Amino acid sequence: MYKTSPLEARMEKTTVFRSNRSQAVRLPKAVALPEDVKHVDIVAVGRTRIITPAGESWDSWFDGESVTSDFMAAREQPGDQDREGF
């Protein structure tokens, strides 16, 4: 599993080409996926494509840094309410 912060992110330029009737992208060595990755998920947002190892798109987010113990400690949040069950 790769853990990276936005400060450690890399950008590389590469080429898009045709392979039969599909588009393909050559990943430069500096940004290549690990050898054990055989399938990927692709998210399309406008003209942008985000490629992640299949099934791992949320793993790095949940494994990443969490908030500090005092995060929103001063927030005025009412206590839990007792409610009748369904």
For residue range 40-78, list pLDDT tens digits in order: 999 999 999 989 899 887 776 677 777 777 877 788 888
Per-residue pLDDT for 31 more than 60?
Answer: yes
Structure confidence at residue 36 (pLDDT): 94
Q: Is the pTM of this model over 0.95?
A: no
Domain ranges of the chain: 36-65
Q: How far apart are CA 63 and CA 84, in angstroms?
A: 36
E strand intervals along the chain: 16-19, 22-25, 40-45, 48-53
Q: Tell me the average pLDDT across 12-38.
A: 94
